Amino acid sequence: MKVNRFEELIAWQKAKLLCIEVYRQFENSKDFGFKDQIQRASVSIMNNIAEGFERKGNKEFSRYLYIAKGSCGELRSMIILAKELNKLPQDRSEALLNQAEEVSKILSGLIKIL
């Protein structure tokens, strides 16, 4: 099956859901620096997938997927910090970590295919 739009990519769809959940979890946070950083990391994942796809070359797309994967690592690090600082309950942090790990694995698979 040929993918014609980045919106069709499972990696982008799952990254979008992860981003929405991060925004929901931190929408009422008064720690604006932390909130901004964790939200920007989550947005970076889905946006790099989209931008790389639109470049229309496998080499460029792969490069952007690696950047998205790096942002996934940054997000996981921020989630761990949020848990340690009691900014997120244990169950929510575990769920977000699992989602981020899943996105990272999908990105790895996509990179291998390219």
Cα(49)–Cα(79) distance, integer angstroms: 21
pLDDT at position 56 over 90: no
pLDDT at position 69 over 80: yes
pLDDT tens for each residue of 15-39 = 999 999 999 999 999 999 999 999 9
Cα(93)–Cα(82) distance, integer angstroms: 8
CATH class of the domain at 6-113: mainly alpha
Q: What pTM value is reported for the model?
A: 0.95
How many CB atoms within 10 Å of residue 113?
8
- Predicted pLDDT at 9: 98
Q: In the chain, how long is the greatest CA-to-CA distance?
A: 45
pLDDT tens for each residue of 71-113 = 999 999 999 999 999 999 999 999 999 999 999 999 999 999 9
Nearest CA among 66, 24, 21, 23 for reference residue 45: 66
Q: In the chain, where does DSSP find H-type helix?
A: 10-26, 32-54, 58-84, 90-113
